[in-house]
Structure 1
């Protein structure tokens, strides 16, 4: 178990420079309860060959960002749209909202993994042990996950976990969100 936020960024930072991918298309999708899911498709064009300024790089990415509805409960989460298989999918805080039980969690994860090419990566950042969160006066239920279910679901989805880190220094008020443990994992699809 590791504490702190810095290590959680390491898998993200280390993924692109070592694989040499440059973002060609980024689709930020919001599944039915409105939580973000980020799907990246990339080319093998090396990032280090791009001599653009930071502003030019930011503008290139902005031109390639599109928003699409996403429903992770469908076998094609992007239906009726489709994209080429992605090199990397990043999911942050949405699968526990889209799943009512462990079996649904495994199914929605398989649906998301179906968007990744063989050898591609899956990055998940979510919460363990949560059961609800509040938005104003509205209370929303979420699936209470434990690490074993997450590991099992990732394996059954056809991925191998390369890194799994938990963080216990979250500072949520219990009245707003009842989890103080988050996790970040990096997995590779077989």
Structure 2
């Protein structure tokens, strides 16, 4: 273990491109677990619950978007929230097809295979880009996370690998979950993707803090916060690597109860 203190994503930031290279490039050692299995479980869970709606807010770690290829089939308008300018810049490069943009073509292939429509990767790419209506910077210290922008409550809120990156204890987790939940309509869908039993992850040469939690803590917290859990899938880690030390990944869908 590196003896240097772990950095915190929300305090120190990270190199968004290094993060993508570590876990999300095509043919990466983590690609099966971080891309294929996640997109597959989202597809299964959303289809089984007959999830649908008009608006979705995504508030996820770094500049990842592969999860949105799947959910864009169920929601027409997507708002993406990001903590820092580098992630916004990275996303805008891809969104506007600029030179040097990270390629998500492999994610497009995965979703077309899941839907049995191979050969329509370009159409899926354009559909997702057209569904993204805005990218907004947010601040964890503000009551309204997107202040001065005021967003209407969404039909769905998706958060991937963010809560475990920005929280240092159980109180942090509950506080930040409550802030996020305010952006979701009562009866709206909540989608959570998160590592379990981890303490750190790596982006380039930097090691960053990960809040250690388990399935029981997450499900109890959501239940206490008046969410009704629809599905909960635990994916066991298979890849051996010192880039990250989690043991499992949770893919959970729930419905927000009345305030």
Shared fold by TM > 0.5? yes
Matched position secondary structure for 1:145:
coil
Any unmatched runs of 5+ in structure 1? 37-52
Any unmatched runs of 5+ in structure 2? 1-32, 55-73, 89-119
Aligned equivalent of 2:254, options 181, 187, 190: 187
1:103 counterpart = 2:155 = no
| 2-structure distance, mates of 1:95, 1:33 | 19
Q: How many residues align?
A: 170
Q: Which has the higher strand share?
A: 1
Aligned equivalent of 1:11, options 29, 35, 45: 45
TM-score (norm 2): 0.57
Which residue of structure 2 aligns with residue 30 of structure 1? 82
Q: Which has the higher helix share?
A: 2
Structure 1 residues 167 and 83 mapped into 2: Cα distance closer, same or farther (>3 Å)? same
Q: How does 1:70-149 map to 2 (within 5 A)?
A: 70-72=138-140, 74-149=142-217
Kept after mapping to 2: 8 A contact 1:132/1:178: yes
Structure 1 residues 141 and 58 mapped into 2: Cα distance closer, same or farther (>3 Å)? closer
Aligned equivalent of 1:177, options 221, 239, 244: 244
1:68 counterpart = 2:136 = yes
RMSD: 3.0
Kept after mapping to 1: 8 A contact 2:162/2:194: yes
Matched position secondary structure for 1:110:
helix
Per-residue deviation, 1:141: 0.9
Kept after mapping to 2: 8 A contact 1:72/1:98: no
Structure 1 residues 28 and 171 mapped into 2: Cα distance closer, same or farther (>3 Å)? same
Per-residue deviation, 1:116: 0.7
